[in-house]
Amino acid sequence: MNRVLIEIVAHLAIFLEQADQDNFSLEQIVRQQEDMVFRLKKLNAGERSEFLRLLKEIASGQESQENRDILERFPEDAGLL
């Protein structure tokens, strides 16, 4: 699995979690989160395992504790575990 793609997902997950509702409606934010999760759930077992491994690695490299927390919660919040 391509680490760059996982980084894109990670940054999108952080962005959506921190999105300012003054600029985006809650409906838009939730719709994008749901779409991302829907697509991630299409990963087969091996791809999902590799995705989770790389996401954990990316989370541990985050300087911001808030960003680390978001990425560490993401798999469970998204129903990927």
Write down the domain spans for the chain.
3-77
pLDDT tens digits for 36-68? 999 999 999 999 999 999 999 999 999 999 999
**Distance between CA 79 and CA 39 in Å, rounded?**
12
The b/e string for 2-13 (b: 16+ C-beta within 10 A; e otherwise) is: eeeebeebbeeb
pLDDT of residue 67: 95
3-state SS track over the chain: CCHHHHHHHHHHHHHHHHCCCCCCCHHHHHHHHHHHHHHHCCCCHHHHHHHHHHHHHHHHCCCCHHHHHHHHHHHHHCCCC
